Amino acid sequence: MIFTGERKTFSNIDKVLLFSFIAVVLIGLVMLYSASKEYDSSVLMFRQIFWIIFGSFLLLAILRIDYHKFISLAYLLYALNLILLVLVLFVGKAKGGSHRWLDLGAFNIQPSELAKITLALALTAYLGRRKSDIGKLNVFLGSLLFLIPFFLLILIEPDLGGAIILVPITFAILYIAGARILHLGGVFFLGLASLPFFWHFLRDYQKERLFVFINPNIDPLGSGYTIIQSKIAIGSGGLLGKGWLGGTQNQLNFLPERHTDFIFSVIGEEWGFLGAILLILLYALIVYRGAKLMQTTSDIYGRLITTGFVALFATQVIVNIGMTIGFLPIVGLPLPLISYGGSSLIATLIYMGLLLNISTKRSLF
């Protein structure tokens, strides 16, 4: 009977979402090998494969548990994540002037990546139990109290991209939950008005990135170097690309951070326009299936969890690709399922497990 129930659960899973997701993961491994030649690709590949396997076990474990149990633990998970974000400021591993990682010996974890999930779960638990009162100002403000501590702690690390990504997650969940446009608009314009205030708290290198976004040539050998090399790499790929392992900007070490935040530049150079479009279409398919799941799930908790993922995933893809082609400032967001990094990859696998779990409870078509 147990195996029958499990077979039924997996037979109802959204297979298009699952296989699109697997395809992107495999593309990520192929491109990481090419992008990490300078960094001893065998070591990085081993670590990335280990994280994929570990994250996949977590995904399978999540599939076997009713997702409502995670909602019941949402506040506890949020509190634990809050503690980790405080700890990382005092005992976190420093890298490039930032304290974003906790050293656990065999591996490091980045609490800001987990914050994307625990924030969505906490908001889902809070709003799901107050769905009839979501239009009230006190409930709306209560929702923002989940965002503000995470946002400020991650901003202090400093991790501007990690802090910013929490905003669309929060706004999307609030909107789908039924928050009033007046309240959302008020917070949006208040945020715009406070930008000059936050400007004074940005680090010098963050300010330089914003200046370089406007004109990369003001510091072509310094702050503007990465974005200039990224655009050269993508542009030189042409229609079909230079071939796997054939990118000169990549293989000759002109492109910094190419195995992490700028791996899309390697894809553009080696696979060309058509290869980049193929990856974007796979991303779009994942977002579409997530949006479809969000629309067809009657359970408010399932709908809000799915909304958080769609907002997170779509925003992160858009921002990462946008910054590699010079359309958006560099804020240090990885390309989901492609960029090297355990915390981001595992967090995405966990969230994907929740989505697939929700998909087993009903049929898309």
Q: Is residue 353 part of a domain?
A: yes
The pTM assigned to this predicted structure is 0.90
**If you write DSSP's letter for every residue of 128-194 in order, what string do you get?**
HTTGGGTTSHHHHHHHHHHHHHHHHHHHHTT-HHHHHTHHHHHHHHHHHHT--HHHHHHHHHHHHHT
Please state, in angstroms and rounded to a whole number, the distance separating the CA atoms of residues 28 and 340: 8
Average the pLDDT over 97-106 and give the result.
75
Q: Is residue 103 part of a domain?
A: no
Question: What amino acid occupies position 124?
Answer: T
Q: Which domain holds residue 20?
A: 2-65+203-359
Average the pLDDT over 105-130 and give the result.
91
Average the pLDDT over 267-291 and give the result.
95
Asked whether the CA dihedral 293, 295, 296, 301 is positive or negative, the reply is: positive
| Confidence at residue 103, expressed as pLDDT on a 0 to 100 scale | 79
Q: Is residue 157 part of a domain?
A: no
Q: Is residue 334 part of a domain?
A: yes
Least confident of 75-84, 140-149, 210-219, 352-361: 210-219
Q: How many structural domains is the chain composed of?
A: 1
Please state, in angstroms and rounded to a whole number, the distance separating the CA atoms of residues 110 and 183: 32
Q: Is residue 114 part of a domain?
A: no
Q: Is residue 149 part of a domain?
A: no
CB 295 within 8 A of CB 359: no
Average the pLDDT over 301-314 and give the result.
95
| Confidence at residue 364, expressed as pLDDT on a 0 to 100 scale | 41
| Confidence at residue 9, expressed as pLDDT on a 0 to 100 scale | 55
Q: Is residue 211 part of a domain?
A: yes
